[in-house]
Structure 1
Amino acid sequence: MEQGSTPQYEPMAEIGEGAYGTVYKARDSLSGKFVALKNVRVQRNEDGLPPSTVREVALLKRLEHFDHPNVVRLFDVCATVRADRETKVTLVFEHVDQDLKTYLEKAPLPGLPAETIKDLMNQLLNGLAFLHSHSVVHRDLKPENILVTSRGQVKLADFGLARIYSCQMALTPVVVTLWYRAPEVLLQATYATPVDMWSTGCIFAEMFRRSLQETFGSEHYLLHQLTSF
């Protein structure tokens, strides 16, 4: 994509907004297919791109040639220099119909059948095993960052907090969304790939309970329970 313009992708609707950018559903004018655009705006007097954006692009580029069925694909990276001393960086991903949070909310009572949960968890663990086998810690697994296609295919997404892990590396203690934090993160201890497994366990419980907060209570209660042993 030529720098300074993104005419190939026509935004159609906003589908999400997070700390690091807004996500839009768009149409690729060349292929006619839908894609997801994640826009990140950077003031030109800032020292480069946000680390989260750099990490996300680098990690997905590193994993791209494996084309794993349970990891979202990054198609393109575009940069547009704007007149207001701002650069807009657009990450172009494959478009997936919904995230796991929406999928769970749409499920009729009493909830997902056990066989469906088993299938979703199998795909989630396959994607996670692939990441961990390449020394990648996701660090922000939650239903909003797990995509589910109309055919029930699971894809891990949003790698803004992910890191390449090594035994010698110190990782920041403030990661993972509140309800999915592992004990070692809550206690600000050293951690590694098992934090993703804890988050996955929380998601597994949520698939059955439909509300993780009701299942586990507040962070303060959980931290009290952990430190009382």
Structure 2
Amino acid sequence: MNEPFLLSNLIELQELDNEIFKLISHKSEGKNVKKLKSLEMNFNQLQKNKQNFEENLQLYFDAKDHIEKNIIESQLKIDTINEKLGSNLDASELQNYNLQKQNFEKNLLDYENSLTDLNNENKDELDTINEISQSLEELKPDLIKLSKSLHIEWKDIDENIGKYENEKKLLLSTFPKEIIDLYDNLKSKGVEVIAAYKRESQCGCCGVELTSNELYEITNSNFQQCPYCMGVVI
């Protein structure tokens, strides 16, 4: 190991790691990411609220389905009778079909009135569900637009991360194993500034004022580490 190597490469490695960390942090906690998370939380909460209202109205939906089925069946029977009435019928058949038609039309009207009453009885809840559905529809374009924007943004970030990772890999290929071990060890211990130039008699990593004796010991040690923060002092 020689001093020029520490002066340039170790600090450069730290700078590359910092850039990679910034990009990763921006990808997971950037402004648009937070905005998307907020929109998704709002969207999911609205969906949950809608589901709760719909579950509470399950009896209404069952009754509605039953009535609508009867309406369809009654209308089909009326249509069938109308076809019969358009054919050649004797007086008895004509009277019989007209009577059937009247009964089915009465049933149809009763079913339609029942459906109207049922809807009126649950109007407030149905209005709330419709309002929630409208809010969900209004959120969808924003979610789609922001998701597409983030997809492009993340693609650019990934490309930059890849570029820095390649630079880091190339740089590490020039490092002695003991320097790599030192760097990894300091990172694992949470040392914030692993290598920095000293500022007069201050440690460039932690800012502690060093005595002349401490500076001498640092300069003559294998890795020139500060006794207070363990960072490499150049």
Q: What band does the TM-score fall into relative to the shorter chain? A: under 0.3
TM-score (norm 1): 0.24
TM-score (norm 2): 0.24
User: Larger % of strand: which?
Assistant: 1
Which structure carries more relative contact order (alpha carbon 8 Å, separation 6+)?
2
